[in-house]
A and B are shown apart, each in its own frame.
Chain A
Amino acid sequence: MEDLRIPIGSFFVILGVLMLVAAALGASNAPLAPAHVNLWAGLVNLVFGGIMLWLARRAA
Chain B
Amino acid sequence: MKPGAIDYLILAIYFAYVLGIGWLVKRRVKTASEFLTSGHSIPVWVTSLAFIATNLGAQEVIGMIASGAKYGIMTAQFYWIGAIPAMMFVGVFMMPFYYGSRARSVPEYLKLRFDEKTRGFNAITFAVMTIFSSGISMYALGLMFQLVLGWNFTASVLLSAFIVLVYTYLGGLTSAIYNEVLQFFLIVMGFAPMAILAVWKAGGWSGVMHRLPAVMTHTWRYTAHTSENPMGIEVFGMVVGLGFVLSFGYWCTNFLVVQRAMAANSMHAARQTPLIAAFPKMFMPFIVIAPGVAAVALAKMGIPNILVPANAPNYNNVTTLLMAQFYPSGLLGVGLTALFASFMSGMAGNVTAFNTVITYDIYQGYIRRNAPDHHYLTVGRITTIVGVILSIGTAYVATAFNNILDFLQLVFGFVNAPLLGTFLLGMFSRRTTAHGAFTGLVSGTAAAAATFGLTVAEGKGGWLGATIYHFPSSMAQNFWISIVAFTVCVVVTWLVSLLTQPKTAGELENLVYGLTKIPHEAGVPWYKRPGPLAVVVGILTIILNIIFW
Contact = CB atoms under 8 A, between A and B. Distances in A.
B90 interface: no
A27 B4 CA distance: 10
B325 A29 contact: no
B13 to A, nearest CB: 6
Contacts of B328: 22, 27-30, 33, 37-38
A44 B181 CA distance: 18
Interface residues of B, number: 34
B92 to A, nearest CB: 27
B48 to A, nearest CB: 12
B10 A31 contact: no
Interface string B17-35: 1001100110010000000
B178 A19 contact: no
Nearest to A19: B330
Given A1-B21, A4-B46, A41-B193, A29 B182 contact: no
Interface stretch (B331-339, B350-358, B407-415, B496-504): B331-339
Interface in B1-53: 2, 4, 6, 9-10, 13-14, 17, 20-21, 24-25, 28, 46
Nearest to B332: A30
Interface residues of A, number: 29
A44 B6 CA distance: 18
A29 B334 contact: no
A22 B330 contact: yes
Contacts of A14: 13
Interface string B320-333: 00001111111111
B25 A15 contact: no
B185 interface: yes
Interface in B300-359: 303, 324-334
B182 A11 contact: yes
B24 A37 contact: no
Contacts of A29: 2, 4, 328-329
Contacts of A33: 197, 325-328, 331
A33 B201 CA distance: 10
Contact of A37 (B4, B13, B197): B197
A19 B327 CA distance: 11
Contacts of A38: 328, 330-331
Contacts of B325: 30-33
Contacts of B327: 30, 33, 37
Q: Most chain-A CB neighbours within 10 Å: which of B13, B327, B331?
A: B331
Q: Classify the secondary structure of A's interface with B.
A: helix
Contacts of A31: 325
B20 A15 contact: no
Interface in A2-42: 4, 7-8, 11-12, 14-15, 18-19, 21-23, 25, 27-34, 37-38, 41-42
Nearest to A14: B13
A47 B201 CA distance: 25
B389 interface: no
Contacts of A12: 185, 189
B330 to A, nearest CB: 3
Q: Most chain-A CB neighbours within 10 Å: which of B24, B46, B330?
A: B330
Contacts of B6: 18, 21-22, 25
Contact of A45 (B20, B25, B189, B201): B189
Contacts of B326: 30, 32-33, 37
Contact of A4 (B14, B181, B329): B181
A18 B10 contact: yes
B201 A37 contact: no
A33 B323 CA distance: 10
A11 B13 contact: yes
A32 B17 contact: no
A8 B329 contact: no
B260 to A, nearest CB: 14
Q: Most chain-B CB neighbours within 10 Å: which of A1, A7, A14?
A: A1
B186 to A, nearest CB: 8
Contacts of B10: 15, 18
A18 to B, nearest CB: 6
Contacts of A28: 328-329
Contact of B330 (A7, A8, A34, A42): A42
Contacts of A45: 189, 334
Contacts of B181: 4, 8
Interface of B: 2, 4, 6, 9-10, 13-14, 17, 20-21, 24-25, 28, 46, 178, 181-182, 185, 189, 193, 197, 201, 303, 324-334
Identify the 3 closest CB pairs spanning chains A and B, nearest first. Answer: A22-B330, A1-B24, A28-B328
Given A1-B28, A15-B10, A37-B328, 4 more contacts: A22-B328, A22-B331, A29-B2, A37-B326
27 contacts: A1-B21, A1-B24, A4-B181, A7-B178, A8-B181, A8-B185, A11-B13, A11-B14, A11-B17, A12-B189, A15-B13, A18-B10, A18-B13, A19-B330, A21-B6, A22-B6, A22-B328, A22-B331, A29-B328, A33-B197, A34-B197, A37-B331, A38-B331, A41-B330, A41-B331, A44-B189, A48-B189
